[in-house]
Structure 1
Amino acid sequence: GEGPRPDRRAFAILIDRHSPGGVIEAVINLTSRVIEEWKRVEDVMPILTPTDLGFIERVARSDPRVIQACQDIGIYDMSQVYFDAWAIGIDERWGRDRRLQQGLPYYRRKPEDNQYAHPLDFIVIADTETEEILSVDVRTVDGERTRPPLKQQNYLPTSLQHGYPYDTLKPIHITQPDGVSFQLHGNMLHWAGYKMHISFNYWEGIVLSDISIYNPVEKRQRPLFYRISVAEMVVPYGCPEPPHHQKQAFDVGEYGMGLMTNSLRLGCDCKGVIQYLDGVISGQQGTPVVVKNAICIHEEDNGLLVKHTDFRDARSISARDRRLIISQIVTAANYDYRFYHTFTLDGTYKLEVRLTRILNTYCLHPSETANPYGTEVAHGVTAHNHQHIFSLRIDPEIDGLENEVQECDAVPLQYTDDSKANPYGNGFFCRQRAVEGASLASLGRSWDIVNPTKVNPVCKKPVGYKILNSQYPGLLAQEGSIVRQRAAFATKPLWVVPFKDFRLYPAGNYVCQSTGEAHQSGNETLEGWVSDAKHADIVCYVQFGLTHIPRTEDFPIMPAEPVSVTLRAANFFQSSPALPFLTLPQNRDTNSQLAGL
C-alpha cells in the first residue's frame, strides 16, 4: 500500500503476583520501544499457563488429606497417583477471591498404564498463586467410598497383545516428484491463486489473515477474509452431580491453544511433502518460547473437482481437485484436537476439527449405574455425556469492507387449491433476511456474507460467500445456569457484530472463573458487543461442534471424529472456478496402475 509503514505494537498481559487476581494490560510500541498503555484490570482471572498447571500433582501427593483419601481406598504409594489439572467452572466457597484450579486424580500401577482406566473418587481444589491445596472433596455413596477399578485398559503399542496383522495393510506413499505447488515468502503463502498470511499466538494458535484469491476473468487479486481464527471452544459436561458440574472446559480461553500445541513429527502427524513453521509464544517470564514444527503445511489430492460424460457420444471430461491444508494439533489433558484449515481449487475454505482423545472418566460405585448421564465404557468406569462447541471468528472482506450477512431459508411456496403462483405445489424459493446480532439454527438454513456494493454482472446479485454449517448441536445447559452464562456465544450458530479493536474472544479476554455477565468489568463478552451492525465493518462468529454420548468403542482411546464448517463462493465468480483446471495435464495420473488381483 501507499504511505509509511505503521509501527509494530504488541499487546501483553502481566500478572501481579503481589495482588490476588492482579492483572495489568500493556501496549508496547515495538518500533519506538515505548510503553504506550499500562492499565490495571480488576476482578478478572488470567489464563492458566502450563507452569500454573504444573504444581498441583507435586503438591497434592504430599498433602496429608490427599494421602489419607488414597489410603482409605487401598492406595499407599503416592507416586502412583496422578492429577490432571483443570480450570474450575465454579466453586462458591471461594468465588473469585482466589485464583483456583481443580485436580482430577487417577491411579497408575506402572508408568505406562492408562490412568483413565483407574479414576479415583475425589478431587482437590488448589490456589494457583500460593500453590496451596484448599480442599479435598471426597465423594461417598450411601456413606461408602468407591475403590478404583483395576482392570487394565491400555492403548500404548507395547501394551497391546492383539495387534493388527501388519502384512494385510500395504503401505500408501504420497509423492510430489516436482515439489510442492505452494510458495512461502516469510509468513506469506501463495498457492493456486490464493494469497494469505500465517501467524501464530498463544491464545488462538494459527491465525490466517489477508486472504485473497486471483480471479482470472478480471485478472486481479480479490480480497476474501481479513482474519480467520478459532476464537473459543467450550466443553460442558452433562452430569449434574458434584463435582462434575465444575467441568466446563474453555480450552482456548482458559489454557491457550498456542500454549497447548504439539511439536509435529514428519511422517506421523502430517503425511506427504511437508513444510513446517515454528510457533513463537511468550513464556511465563516474558521470554520467547519456540514451539518447533507447530504448523504443518501440505497438499493432498481431493478427489474429483468436476466430472461429466456426454451420454450421446460418451465424451468425458474431468479435473482433479486438491486441497492445501494448514494444520496444528492441540493436546488439552485427555483430549487431542486436530485443526485443519483447508483451501480447495474452487475457492472454498473449510475448517475441519478432528477430535481424537481419551475420555474423561469417573469411577462407579457397585450400587451405581452410568445411565442416564454417561456410559459404562469399562467395568466400574463411566464416561459422562458432554459437548464440544467451537467458535470460528471470521472477519470478512468480500471484495472490500462493505459486507453484511443474509440469512437464507429454503421455503416452499404457498400451495392451495386456487393457487395461481404455485398451481402444482412444487415451488420453493430462498427467503432472505438481513442478520444483525444473532441468528438461530433452522433446518436447511445457510448464511451469505455479501458485499451489497459489488454486483455480479451475470446474476445481478451481490457477490458473496456462503456459510454452510450443518453441525451446530445447540448448547444443552439450561437458561440461567452458570455454564450457559459463561458460554453465551454457544447458544447461537451465528453472531454478527461490529468490528472493534481488541474484541476477539467471544467468552471474553479473561475466561477463568468468569461470571458470564455480558458487561462484566474487564471481561466483556460477545453478548455485550451486539448492536446495529448495518453499514458497519462486521465480524462473524460461527459455532459448530457435536454432542458426545460416549460409546464403548471410544475407550480406551477414541477413533477420530470430524466436525467442520465451510465457506463457499456464492455468486462471487462469474462462472465456474473449476474451468481453468480442466486443462491441467495431471488430471490423468500416469502413475496409477491396476491392482492385478
Structure 2
Amino acid sequence: MGSIIDNIKQKASTIINKFTGHHPLDPLTTSEIAKAVSIIRETKGQLGYNAVTIAEPKKVEVLAWLADPEHAPKPARQAEVVAIDKTGAIWDGIVDLASGKLLQWEKLDGVQPLITMEDLIETDRVVKADPKVIEQCGILGIPASDMHKVHADPWTIGFDSRFGNTTRLQQALMYYRPNPDDCQYAFPLDFCPIVNTETKEVIHIDIPEVRRPLNKIPSNYNPKDIESDGTGYRTDIKPLHVTQPQGVSFAITGREISWQNFKVHVGFNYKEGIVLNNITYNDKGVVRPLFYRLSLAEMVVPYGNPEMWHYRKHAFDLGEYGGGYMTNELALGCDCLGEIHYLDAFFVNRAGDPVTIKNAICVHEEDAGILFKHTDFRDNSVIVTRGRKLILSHIFTAANYEYCVYWIFHQDGTIQLEIKLTGILNTYAMAPDEDTKGWGTQVHPGVNAHNHEHLFCLRIDPQIDGQSNTIFQVDATMGPGEVGSAENHYGNAFFAQKTKYSTVTEAIADYNGDTSRTWDIANTNKLHPVSGKPVSYKLVSREVPRLLIKDGGLVHKRAGFARHAVHVTKYKDGQIYPAGRHVPQSSGDPSLGLPEWIAANPSESIDNTDVVLWHTFGLVHFPAPEDFPVMPAEPMSLLLRPRHFFLRNPALDVPPSFCSTPSMVANPGLKEKVVDAADKLSRLAFGGGARRGDCCD
C-alpha cells in the first residue's frame, strides 16, 4: 500500500513540476545540493566533495520541452557530483533528484579534480607551518617569528614528470608581507614548495641554483599609502550619477531575462561561471532562435620563462580552479553602477554543505552611446538615436588576477563578450642588475614580472533560425585581374571570399588580420529575401594572438584548444570542456578535449547540421611598471553580429534622441509638432535626460 501511495505522490509531483518549479537548465539550489549529498551518503558513506552541480539534460530533451512545455516531458533534475574518498580516489557520479537514486558512480584513474578555494586556503596554512619552508625563509632573512607574514599563492602544479598525476598536488608561489596593508607581490620569494593536497604536507621544495635576495622596498595601492605619498588622491573628480527613475527596462522571471526583443536564460556553474542558454529574438512577433548555449568554456595563461619551475606556470583558471568557485560577491556602486538586479550562486564545500555566493551575477543597463546618426549637409536635417545595452556580468579572482566578464546585449541584435583584466601581476624575485633575458620585466626594484598570455576559449552552440547551421570563413580578398585588365582595370576590386567548413578537419583555422578574417554562422536553408544570402550571425574577433608555445611543448600538448583560433565540431552531449573534463595534472599525452574529439572522426561532416564553434582569443602581456602594484583594467572584446538576419536595421524602432527631417527644416510649424513627439519618446527612453531641441551625442 505504501509503495502505491509513493508512486501516486511521485506522479503528482511530476505533473506539478511540468508546469512549475525549475527551468531544466537552472543551477542547483541549496536544497537540491543538500539532497544530492544525502542520497550519496546513504550508499557511499562519508566523502569529500569537490563539486555538486547541475547535470545538464540532453539537448534534444530540452528543445522538445521548450517547443511544447504543456505536452513534452520536462527533463529530469539531475546532479553531477565529483567526490574524493579517504584513500584519495576520485569518483564521478550522477544523482536523479526526483527519484532519489544514484544513477552513475565511476572511479577515475589517472586524473585529478580541480583545486577548490578550501584547498587553496589549506595549502597556504600547511606551507607556513612546514619546517623546511621556515628554513628557506630564514635563509632569505625572514625569522621564524615572522612566518605569519609569509603567504602562498597555491597553484595546481600543471604537470611535472617527477611527480606524475597519481597524487593530487599543488605548487606554492611564495611572498612576504612585512606590514598588514603591504602588497605582497612586491616581496616575492625565490623558492617553490610542492604540497600533497590530500595528506596536507610539503613533499618537495624547488630552490634555484642562484638565490635572489628579498626585496626591501614596498609598492602599495592601499588608501593609507596613496594619501601619504606626497600627492594623495585626485580632487578634481565631480560626482557622476546614474539613475533610472522609472526603473529598468528588463524583466526577470526565475532566471530568464526579457529585454528589447531578446530573451535569455542565465545559468551558472562552478567551472564556466555564467552560461547563457536559449537566446532568442522577437522579430516583429516572430520568435527566432539565435544561440542554444554560450559560455567561456576554458582558458590558459602560459608564462614565458623557460627556467626551472616557471614552465609549470600555465594556469587553466576555469578547468583547474573554476571561474564559478572564484566568483566575487559584487558590491553596488563599486563593481556595478546603476539600477542593479543580482543573482546568487550556489556551490558545495568539502564537507558536502551548500555554500552561497551572494550577488554573484550583476544584471543592469547602461547607455551605449550613439546607436545610429545621420546629418544631411544639404538641408541640415539630422537624426540621432542613442543606444542602450543590457549587461550580465561576474568577476572572479584567480589568485593575483581579476577577470571581469561582461555579456552585453545591444538593441541592434548584437551580442558582445567583453573581458577586463585587472588585479596584480604574478611576480618573481630578481637580483640587482639581473638579466631578465627578455622573459620578463623589472616592474619594481627586485621584482620581475614574466611575459605571459591570456587565452580564452569561447564555446558557441548556435541555433540560427534552427539547429542546422554551417560555418563559413570570410576573408576580404582582392578581386582577380591585373591592373589594366578589362575585369579590374584600376585594380580596386575586392570581395568577401567565403570558405565553407565541411568537415571537422577543414574547420581547424587561424586568424588572419591581413584579410580581416571573420566567421559566418549561417543557416543555409533560409535566404534573406533582399540580399539572397543565408541568414547568419558573424563572429567578429580581432584580438587573437597565437599560442606562443612550440609544437610538442607541455602547454601545447595540454591546451590543444589554444593551438588554433577556431575549431568546429558536431554537437554531442557532454562535450563542454575543450581541455577535458578533469584538467589538473593532465600531461597532454594524449591531448584531451578538442584534439581527441576531432581525432576520433576527422572526416565527420559539419555541413548543415547541429554544430559547435570553439573560438580561442585573448592577449599577450609584456608587463611594464604601469601595471604595478595593481594593474589598470585592460579590456578585450568580440562580437556576434546579425548579417542578412533582419530585413533591415532592426533598431529603427528605438526612439530618437533628436530628429529634424527635411520637411521639418522647411516647415518650422511641422518641426515643432514632430519635435514635441520626439521629445516625449526621448523622455520615456532616457528618463528626462533629453530635452526638445537638444542633440544628445
For the pair 1:439 / 2:506, whether they are aligned, the reply is: no
Query: Does the residue aligned with 2:326 lie in a helix, a strand or coil?
Result: coil
Match in the other structure for 1:83: 152
For the pair 1:539 / 2:607, whether they are aligned, the reply is: no
Match in the other structure for 1:36: 103
Amino acid at match of 2:449: A
Match in the other structure for 1:328: 394
Query: Does the residue aligned with 1:439 lie in a helix, a strand or coil?
Result: coil
**How far 1:140 sits from its partner (Å)?**
2.9
For the pair 1:131 / 2:213, whether they are aligned, the reply is: no
Amino acid at match of 2:689: N
CA deviations over 1:534-576 (Å, ceiling 9, x no partner): 2431011111110000011000011000011110001000101
Which one of 347, 351, 357 corresponds to residue 291 of structure 1? 357
State how far apart, in whole Å, the 2-side matches of 1:199 and 1:164 are: 43
The alignment of Structure 1 onto Structure 2 pairs a total of residues equal to 588
Match in the other structure for 1:191: 259
User: Structure 1 residues 449, 198: CA separation in 2 closer, same or farther (over 3 Å shift)?
Assistant: same
Query: Does the residue aligned with 2:336 lie in a helix, a strand or coil?
Result: coil
The answer to which of 84-93 and 574-583 deviates more is 574-583
User: Structure 1 residues 261, 460: CA separation in 2 closer, same or farther (over 3 Å shift)?
Assistant: same
The answer to which of 333-342 and 149-158 deviates more is 149-158
**How far 1:136 sits from its partner (Å)?**
1.3
Higher helix share: 2
For the pair 1:409 / 2:483, whether they are aligned, the reply is: no
Which one of 555, 563, 567 corresponds to residue 640 of structure 2? 567
For the pair 1:555 / 2:628, whether they are aligned, the reply is: yes
Q: Report the TM-score when normalising by structure 2.
A: 0.82
Match in the other structure for 1:239: 305
Amino acid at match of 2:198: E
State how far apart, in whole Å, the 2-side matches of 1:108 and 1:502 are: 44
User: Structure 1 residues 479, 12: CA separation in 2 closer, same or farther (over 3 Å shift)?
Assistant: same
**How far 1:10 sits from its partner (Å)?**
2.6
In 2, are the aligned partners of 1:505 and 1:525 still within 8 Å (CA)? no
State how far apart, in whole Å, the 1-side matches of 2:128 and 2:600 are: 43
The answer to which of 545-554 and 46-55 deviates more is 46-55
The answer to which of 418-427 and 298-307 deviates more is 418-427
Match in the other structure for 1:448: 520
Match in the other structure for 1:591: 689
In 2, are the aligned partners of 1:495 and 1:541 still within 8 Å (CA)? yes
State how far apart, in whole Å, the 1-side matches of 2:96 and 2:105 are: 12
CA deviations over 1:211-235 (Å, ceiling 9, x no partner): 011112xx21111000111100000
Query: Does the residue aligned with 2:653 lie in a helix, a strand or coil?
Result: helix
User: Structure 1 residues 248, 157: CA separation in 2 closer, same or farther (over 3 Å shift)?
Assistant: same
Amino acid at match of 1:376: Q
Match in the other structure for 1:480: 552
Amino acid at match of 1:186: G
State how far apart, in whole Å, the 2-side matches of 1:139 and 1:367 are: 17
State how far apart, in whole Å, the 1-side matches of 2:238 and 2:600 are: 55
Structure number with bigger Rg: 2
The answer to which of 585-594 and 373-382 deviates more is 585-594
The answer to which of 10-19 and 53-62 deviates more is 10-19
Match in the other structure for 1:391: 457
Match in the other structure for 2:118: 51
Match in the other structure for 1:102: 171
User: Structure 1 residues 32, 139: CA separation in 2 closer, same or farther (over 3 Å shift)?
Assistant: same
State how far apart, in whole Å, the 1-side matches of 2:309 and 2:407 are: 36
State how far apart, in whole Å, the 1-side matches of 2:307 and 2:594 are: 31
Match in the other structure for 2:246: 178
Query: Does the residue aligned with 2:274 lie in a helix, a strand or coil?
Result: strand
Query: Does the residue aligned with 1:198 lie in a helix, a strand or coil?
Result: strand
Amino acid at match of 1:168: D
Which one of 261, 268, 271 corresponds to residue 203 of structure 1? 271
Which one of 405, 420, 440 corresponds to residue 339 of structure 1? 405
**How far 1:494 sits from its partner (Å)?**
1.2
Amino acid at match of 1:249: A
Match in the other structure for 2:490: 424
Match in the other structure for 1:140: 209
CA deviations over 1:178-206 (Å, ceiling 9, x no partner): 10000001111000010010111111111
Amino acid at match of 1:501: D
In 1, are the aligned partners of 2:114 and 2:582 still within 8 Å (CA)? yes
State how far apart, in whole Å, the 1-side matches of 2:174 and 2:588 are: 28
In 2, are the aligned partners of 1:236 and 1:483 still within 8 Å (CA)? yes
Higher strand share: 1
User: Structure 1 residues 306, 527: CA separation in 2 closer, same or farther (over 3 Å shift)?
Assistant: farther
In 1, are the aligned partners of 2:79 and 2:96 still within 8 Å (CA)? no
Which one of 82, 86, 94 corresponds to residue 14 of structure 1? 82
For the pair 1:24 / 2:101, whether they are aligned, the reply is: no
In 1, are the aligned partners of 2:371 and 2:386 still within 8 Å (CA)? yes
Which one of 300, 303, 328 corresponds to residue 262 of structure 1? 328
State how far apart, in whole Å, the 2-side matches of 1:140 and 1:298 are: 53
Query: Does the residue aligned with 1:581 lie in a helix, a strand or coil?
Result: coil
**How far 1:164 sits from its partner (Å)?**
5.1
CA deviations over 1:312-364 (Å, ceiling 9, x no partner): 21110111111000000100100001000000000000110000010000111
State how far apart, in whole Å, the 2-side matches of 1:550 and 1:69 are: 28
Query: Does the residue aligned with 1:354 lie in a helix, a strand or coil?
Result: strand
User: Structure 1 residues 165, 37: CA separation in 2 closer, same or farther (over 3 Å shift)?
Assistant: closer
In 2, are the aligned partners of 1:198 and 1:209 still within 8 Å (CA)? yes
Which one of 540, 543, 546 corresponds to residue 468 of structure 1? 540
Q: Report the TM-score when normalising by structure 1.
A: 0.95
The answer to which of 64-73 and 355-364 deviates more is 64-73
State how far apart, in whole Å, the 2-side matches of 1:409 and 1:285 are: 53
1:297-376 pair list within 5 angstroms: 297-366=363-432, 368-376=434-442
In 2, are the aligned partners of 1:87 and 1:102 still within 8 Å (CA)? yes
In 2, are the aligned partners of 1:230 and 1:392 still within 8 Å (CA)? yes
Query: Does the residue aligned with 1:60 lie in a helix, a strand or coil?
Result: helix
For the pair 1:489 / 2:561, whether they are aligned, the reply is: yes
Question: Which residues of structure 1 form unaligned runs of 5+?
Answer: none
Amino acid at match of 1:419: S
The answer to which of 22-31 and 234-243 deviates more is 22-31
Query: Does the residue aligned with 1:70 lie in a helix, a strand or coil?
Result: helix
User: Structure 1 residues 11, 333: CA separation in 2 closer, same or farther (over 3 Å shift)?
Assistant: same
Match in the other structure for 2:343: 277
User: Structure 1 residues 41, 8: CA separation in 2 closer, same or farther (over 3 Å shift)?
Assistant: same
State how far apart, in whole Å, the 2-side matches of 1:80 and 1:430 are: 60
CA deviations over 1:43-62 (Å, ceiling 9, x no partner): 11111111122222222222
State how far apart, in whole Å, the 2-side matches of 1:522 and 1:509 are: 11
Match in the other structure for 1:251: 317
User: Structure 1 residues 518, 422: CA separation in 2 closer, same or farther (over 3 Å shift)?
Assistant: farther
The answer to which of 81-90 and 510-519 deviates more is 510-519
Which one of 444, 448, 454 corresponds to residue 378 of structure 1? 444
State how far apart, in whole Å, the 2-side matches of 1:525 and 1:46 are: 21
User: Structure 1 residues 271, 474: CA separation in 2 closer, same or farther (over 3 Å shift)?
Assistant: same
CA deviations over 1:25-73 (Å, ceiling 9, x no partner): 2222222222222222221111111112222222222222111111111
